[in-house]
Structure 1
Amino acid sequence: MAINLADYQNQTREAVQAFWGNREMARQKQIEAGNVDAGERAGVTAGKNMDGFVALVIDLVKANGLDAATIYRDRALVTLPGYFRPTKLWDLLVINEGRLIAALEFKSQVGPSFGNNFNNRTEEAIGTAHCLWTAYREGAFGKHPRPFLGWLMLLEDAPESRKPVTDRSPHFPIFPEFAGASYQQRYKILCQRLMQEQLYSAASILTSPRTASADGAYAELDEMTGLKTFVTSFAGHIAAEAAR
């Protein structure tokens, strides 16, 4: 298994820097064009902000012996069958000799609205994985070893994502680990539990301030949900497939 973590840390910094730079360029272009979509949404509608992370994953596939695999990332070619719905679009698929090797999602969230977006991201992540694994159980992808499912989130490091959040549950108490937890902490818990419940092979949360457009700075919240665990887990899966 070929892993040089320093290389992937550097590549992640480049991906983070590109993320913030691409958002700002998209925002400026829409402002110059007089588009009403010139607020925070302008950076989202650009659509290519997470491409640096996609490139990192592609490099991992090639570095770990699976050069023959086909990597799909075009929107028209990243659809997989579901169980509770007909199909689901993924961000990246790895297919080798007709076998689904990996399916990955790359997500991001910036302020100022963290609350509604967190709930939407959570429901989407859980539902997507449950739908795929049920389809897998029912033979949608043939009788092959389980694919790797990956979920990576880049979250803005800002006062609103770090501050404690109050919840109301009038009938039954919430789990204590959520009491007063910030959105950063909630994403960490989400990623931990997505893996503990075997919904995803690896789920990672990285945080980064807007100033990272200059230097690509990012932070991890713990070892389990950090970059190293994601990278080594994915690389190991790819290497195992290459050895078949």
Structure 2
Amino acid sequence: MGLDLADYDRLARLGVAQFWDGRSSALENDEERSQGGERAAVLGGRNMDGFLAMVEALVRKNGLQEATICISGRPNLTLPGYYRPTKLWDVLVFDRKKLVAAIELKSHVGPSFGNNFNNRAEEAIGTAHDLSTAVREGALGNQLPPFTGWLILVEDCEKSRRPVRDSSPHFPVFPEFERASYLIRYEVLCRRLIQENLYSQATVIASPRTARVGGDYVELSQTTGLRAFAARLAGHVAGWAAAHPR
């Protein structure tokens, strides 16, 4: 039996609440703020770990009860690259040593959005292209292509929703980016990552700091929403399980 939408939404909200609680706890424990700003929250651990329960439930309840899910330990999370020797992923799912899924879990919290957005975009594009090329060149051996996912939680605040001007003196930017907020830019990024087949699913959700209680979040579109992420991962796992019966 597959994971129903109530399960995925409940687990997602728990993940969001844990994300904000982890950041808040890291700041509260850093009484002297010796490194300034929110660095303590950034260094306080794997803040997106709350979403691991959702990923595991999607895998276990859609046909791969005995899958190996790697969520910690550098050797366990490393895949070969094409332009570099290896890349460390956030979640890897294996079925009898075959790679079923590789997932990146990211976050972006203010106050700085400008350069950090560009860094996130470049990282997402480079990671996907590196792995897809490595797979094409046989890095995973003889197997079906894995599900690749990129999920980012962005702070829902005035700065992330404010229209942003760009300076492009030589050529105009694409219309989708004209005075687009950073949340809109992330939605465009995710949509194009999917359209260009760089990821099986790329998703952005927005959540305010008050979601520490309740785990509230919003999707920016159906195409790049968390529901789409859950559905595509569940579908891939179910298809894999049907093609590789035990």
Is the 8 Å Cα contact of residues 17 and 215 (structure 2) preserved in structure 1? yes
Quote how far apart the aligned CAs of 1:38 are. Answer: 4.7
- The reply on whether 1:55 has 2:81 as its aligned counterpart is no
**Which AA in structure 1 matches 2:30?**
Q
What does residue 185 of structure 2 align with?
Answer: 186
RMSD of Structure 2 on Structure 1 (CA)? 1.0
What does residue 238 of structure 1 align with?
Answer: 237
Pairing of 1:120-135 with structure 2 (within 5 A): 120-135=119-134
- The reply on whether 1:8 has 2:4 as its aligned counterpart is no
- The reply on whether 1:199 has 2:228 as its aligned counterpart is no
Quote how far apart the aligned CAs of 1:37 are. Answer: 2.5
- The reply on whether 1:117 has 2:116 as its aligned counterpart is yes
SS of the equivalent of 1:187 reads: helix
SS of the equivalent of 1:14 reads: helix
Quote how far apart the aligned CAs of 1:48 are. Answer: 2.3
CA–CA distance in structure 2, aligned partners of residues 184 and 210 of structure 1: 15
SS of the equivalent of 2:203 reads: strand
Is the 8 Å Cα contact of residues 194 and 203 (structure 1) preserved in structure 2? yes
Structure 1 window deviating more from structure 2 (91-100 vs 114-123): it is: 91-100
Pairing of 1:78-89 with structure 2 (within 5 A): 78-89=77-88
The percentage of counterpart residues that share the same residue type is: 56
What does residue 104 of structure 1 align with?
Answer: 103
Which consecutive aligned stretches of 4+ in structure 1 deviate over 4 angstroms post-superposition? none
Q: How many residues align?
A: 242
Is the 8 Å Cα contact of residues 156 and 209 (structure 1) preserved in structure 2? yes
| TM superposition score normalised by structure 2 | 0.96
Structure 1 window deviating more from structure 2 (177-186 vs 11-20): it is: 11-20
Is the 8 Å Cα contact of residues 27 and 38 (structure 1) preserved in structure 2? no
Unaligned runs of 5+ in 2: none
SS of the equivalent of 1:152 reads: strand
What does residue 220 of structure 2 align with?
Answer: 221
CA–CA distance in structure 1, aligned partners of residues 173 and 33 of structure 2: 43
SS of the equivalent of 1:198 reads: coil
CA–CA distance in structure 2, aligned partners of residues 225 and 144 of structure 1: 27
Quote how far apart the aligned CAs of 1:39 are. Answer: 2.2
CA–CA distance in structure 2, aligned partners of residues 86 and 230 of structure 1: 28
CA–CA distance in structure 1, aligned partners of residues 219 and 238 of structure 2: 25
Unaligned runs of 5+ in 1: none
